[in-house]
Structure 1
Amino acid sequence: MTGGLPPVGQGFDPTAGYPEDVPLGYDPANEGFAGVITTVDGEGNTQQMYCIDIRVLTYEGLGYENGSWDESNVPNIGYVNRVLNSYYPDQPGLPEAANDNIRAAAVQAAVWFFSDGYVLQDTDPVRPLTAQIVADVLAAGPLTEPPAPDVGITPPVAAGPVDGVAGPFTITSGAVAELTVGVTPGYTLYTDAAGTVPLVGTTVPAGTQLWVRNTAQTTDPAELTATAVVPVQTGNVYLYAGSNPQVTEAQKLILAADSQIESNAQATAEFFIPGDLVVNKTFAGEGAGLQGAITLNVACGAAGTFVIDIPAGTAAGVSQTISDLPVGTVCEVSEPVTGSNTQVTVTPVLPGPVTVTADGPNVLDVANTVDLNPGSLTVVKSLTGAAAGLQGDITVIVTCEDAGIEETLTIPAGSAAGDYAGTITDIPAGTACTVTEPQTGATDLVAVTTGLPEVVEIQPGADSQALVTNDVSYIYGSLVLTKTITGPGAGLQSDVRIVLTCGDSFTEEILIPAGTVAGDQIRVFDRVPAGSSCTVTEPATGANSSVTVDAVLPEAVTVLGGESVNAEVTNTYSVLGKDKLAETGANGLSSVWTASLCILALGTFLVIVSVRRRTS
């Protein structure tokens, strides 16, 4: 092939299209070979590759391994992959040409255009095919990187102590069920974390975990390999493996068609001289044991971060050892979760970083001071009783001697029934508080029965309650009501109804039946609230068609506690018509009625014994 390359370090833009001829300033580049490069793997499988690094040579005997696009550092490799997936040998017969040699040369020239800026001279017979390939690929756009061969070992590096094992290493492959594994001579593979069960044979199922032991107990690293023949997609790159000490670099290759290739993965087992780190956790303070769960993070650089969880309620010291840390590792502890809660506040004291040595002691001491949170006391005053609202001032005193607290809650006189509350905050936990009530609200009119709580101990971070009850009841006096019935018509009257009203809470009605004879009717009322002003009314006086009444009612009287007061009601009854008869006789009328009346009081009945008419 005849053509040219842009000078080293000069950029190029393949998206501008294929030039009509080699641009001015390009360096001549007449390639003696352009086409498919055949490779062979350790199992004898052959593959077809193209070059993606025109300035570097390759030849028989050089070793290659699969790499990523990023590792290849080849520009425009997405367009290269479009070329490979659209033309020979992945797509046999394309582009149209006399034979596969010409097709391969045209495709390689197109690959070089995108990877290296290579342009064929306008006289080169392959040029028209290459120019058309470039135009079609630019129109179609680049492809993404294909998946790498799926043989893998994770993690790529693991470390262990010289007297132990490194791992675990997980052998993976999604395409095959079994893989062949190997390790550097002088090292042994195990299937358990303790390194006591050696691997038998060299074949393992995909997903197997392995550990590596250094039988010589040196710090030299070992290489673990996993190998399998797997399908590999077009577009995967292969890079020089550095297997020849005399060759520092070799041409980069890219797979031209899907193939079965022996693929392998490597991982490194590193070994170090170990040391142990001891993490101690201690607790002090009155609240020790009341804290919540605690989390310690021990960050040890490349060795990782170790999490130590301490359960809630732990009061005794805790010690935990982190074993097999590489000597020289610097470890530092933090406490992202201290265990502080509503009851306690935890203050951690953290040490500085520690550098791990082989002989130790390597210790991180973490001290926690656990202080009780203050609490509060809510005093609830409950007013009940029939006389609630009539009491005087109430004074409640809260005394917390150890804390030097004395607070007063005052409920004004006349406060209605219900609950009244006051809260005292920031009382040290464990403080004993007493509640007294020097003023209960009792007066001459009401009695107060008080219920006081026992000594209240303040709980940390909580609101304690103290209930004080006041039951307010009336103080009673008595009232003696005397009803006097008198007069000539006494016994002829109808029902008499008397109403006694004392304040708002006491009302009594007294019925004296019709025909009650002359005399005193006495009623005693013992449970009259003290201080009540009592009035007497007489809605029904007993007046009727036979008698008239002259009623004398008392003034209002006030009942005193524990004393008796009197109220007197007098009804004088007169007979209708009796005075008129006497007047007629005095005037000497021609006829005079003389009536002899005998009044017999039998219950409520009026009996007329005789009536006689006399003529003068």
Structure 2
Amino acid sequence: MQVRSAFARGGIAVLTAAAAVMVSAPSALADDGAARGRVIEKASTVGYRISLEGGGDPIAKLFDFKLSDGKSLKLYCVQISVHMRTDVDMVETPWNKYPDASSPFTKNSDKINWVLHHGYPGIKLDAIEAALGKQGVKVHDGVSEQEGIAATQAAVWHFSDGVKLNLKQPLAEGDNSAEANADVAALYSYLIGDQNTGIGAQPKPVLDIAGPKTAGAAGTKVGPFQVATNGAVTSLTTELPDGVKVTDADGKELKATDVKDGGKLFVDVPAGTKPGAGSFSLKATGELDTGRLFVAENYAKQPAQSLIVADSEKTEVAAKAPASWTETPATPATTAPSTPGGAPSGGGELANTGVDAAVPFGIGGLLLGGGALMLLLNRRRSRA
């Protein structure tokens, strides 16, 4: 019975540990279900019609994009020669699976991402003005939203399609002022200039809790549970009995703000707590990220202009960890020493060590008797 009971407890511990290791944050883009959405062109923000070297005057727009989960993003185009469509699903796609293998996009994707992180709306207009000021460039009455869109889209196309903005007359519309032309040219030149060292693809927000030991006994701390996240933990909730808490190694009860990447958590179960189980959950927020590429779902049959996310938004990920415990281990019983007669020791009497004091005397008597017998026999032999 004891062997079977121990085996059962061990089996529970192994299964619980395995469950904890498998717990992880539901990624914003699961491998089997990439994010998708559609362009909402009527909600898009128009910049200016720009003028390119060698001809061409496309309109720079910041497109509104609605994901299937209801969230909205802002995106720019990365295929200047392909028509944009609002009637097809656009699916998030890795940079290295860009639909046009001959395009400069793949080799320049890091630089495009830098443009998005330093252009509009990746950073605010006043921050753009400050960045230009550090380069010794003065803008006229600040950088407007239209100027920011025109310059940023032109810089994206420069790296994705190999086109160049006509710096002598960046804006194709004749009624735009010299000041607006100068501001667009200045921002465009900054975004494609030497400061652009590239930004690689950013990791998606993740949150994992791993617990190699998720079962224990009351009166101990179950754990550790190690946290791995690239976001900020914003919530710590528990489903635990009264008195059972989530703590650090020293027993200090933790709040969400105490939990960091690499932190170790424990489920502290007071002695005397009835055998049971519970869990705790964490939530974290992170950027869901500028630079995400969206390509038409059936691009080969229905080509549509590919798009790239121009701004970040906060997203939330969550993870849950189970814990279980048995009753407090029993302390081995001890008995008071007693005298050979059974009465408790005391009053100066010797403690019973487990050896009968009469035994040595019996053995001594036997030895003496044997010696006397041998002596008698030897005397009889000598007389004979």
TM-score (norm 2): 0.38
Higher helix share: 2
Of the two structures, which has the highest relative contact order with CA contacts closer than 8 Å and spacing of 6 or more? 2
Bigger strand fraction: 1
Task: Name the larger-Rg structure.
Answer: 1
